[in-house]
Amino acid sequence: MYLNKLQLWNFRSYENLELLFPDGISILYGENGQGKTNVVEAIYLLCTGRSHRTNREHDMIMLDRPWTRVRAENLQKDGKHTVDMVMARGQKKRILVNGLAISRISEILGQLSGVIFSPEDLDLVKEGPQKRRRFMDIELSQVSKNYFYALNEYNKVLEQRNSLLKETVNTSSLEVWDQMLATKAVPIIKARRDFCSRLEPKARENHKYLSSGKEELFCFYKDCAQGKENIEETLLEALYKSRETDIKRAFTTIGPHKDDIVIKLGETDLRYFGSQGQQRTATLALKLTELDLMHEDLGEYPVLLLDDVLSELDERRQQMLLEKIKGVQTIITVAQKTDHFKNINANYFEVQKGKVFKR
């Protein structure tokens, strides 16, 4: 899979832009604030249906413009695919896949797949569980529409249960929502368990590569069913035991929405005791593993987006990363061209005030 063409209209700083990307590595360079990240955001928006920078869709519309449009053309094993998204102020966004309007956001998944690595992702290991749940959910949703559906269904039930907890609680009503929540949680937990069982050996291998074999990485899914096979019954019992706490706090304290991935170097929990260098190396290993797993599931590599992240890595890890991604279509944003790219065959685009020039 590779992204062939990107077109933007009234998107952030771009009034009208058409970019043709060759297969391989493309480097967008320019000073901060010129619009490099806006290009990456547009691509990722068409991969997942959501921005990695904001939950407010209208923030992506150029100031004083009523609408924005983002369109991508990509080539896959089965031929050309197009994804087209229009967002207008005060209206629901419209999406076309291969020229046909879709009603569900899930239908965009798999049309253009991508993995993003940005400075915010460097917090993947050291920040709270929400970051690591999002890491799992985005990867799984891109390769499995069933997972995306299951996650949405679970979140709807969770919202209803939380609403009930904020009101005068009827115990019999709560029992109904407990059962529904436990049932909806099963496919999510199973998929995440499988994901983490595949993640760990590959992440360990990638980490050995990045650390020159000096440290051994371990990661495992810490789920609300405590790893037990009878997930539904275990979660139902846990919900019953936490009922008094849930009522006091007015939200659900148990469930896959509270789960986590524990990441260790040997016996050391990296979130709490790892150095910044160790945390960043582990994060990079996880991101490379995400790329590997999507390649396994899709039969081809997704587009890799490296948004201003190379400057956050030391020179050795920069070179190791660039070596590792050979053969993967990669779009990199940097402040300036450097000697780090002298040994790779790359295409260069200069970004200046909402304009992009092929160099």
DSSP readout, 315-340?
HHHHHHHHHHTTTS-EEEEESS--GG
In the chain, DSSP assigns E strands to: 2-11, 14-20, 25-29, 67-76, 79-88, 94-97, 100-101, 114-117, 217-222, 260-265, 268-269, 303-307, 330-334, 346-352, 355-358
Q: What is the pLDDT of residue 171?
A: 80
**What is the full DSSP assignment across 64-121?**
T-SEEEEEEEEEETTEEEEEEEEEETTS--EEEETTEE-SSGGGGTTTS-EEEE-GGG
Question: Which residue numbers in the chain have pLDDT < 70?
Answer: 339
Residue whose tokens read 């944003």: 333
Q: What is the pLDDT of residue 27?
A: 95
Cβ–Cβ under 8 Å, residues 124 and 115: no
**Model's pTM, two decimal places?**
0.93
Q: What is the pLDDT of residue 168?
A: 72
Q: How many whole angstroms separate alpha carbon 323 and alpha carbon 23?
A: 16
Q: What is the pLDDT of residue 13?
A: 95
Q: What is the pLDDT of residue 163?
A: 93
| Domains, the chain, ordered by start | 1-113+302-359 (3.40.50.300), 119-300 (1.20.1050.90)
Q: What is the pLDDT of residue 79?
A: 87
**Which residue from 264, 177, 185 is spatially nearest to 220, judged by alpha carbons?**
264
Q: What is the pLDDT of residue 312?
A: 86
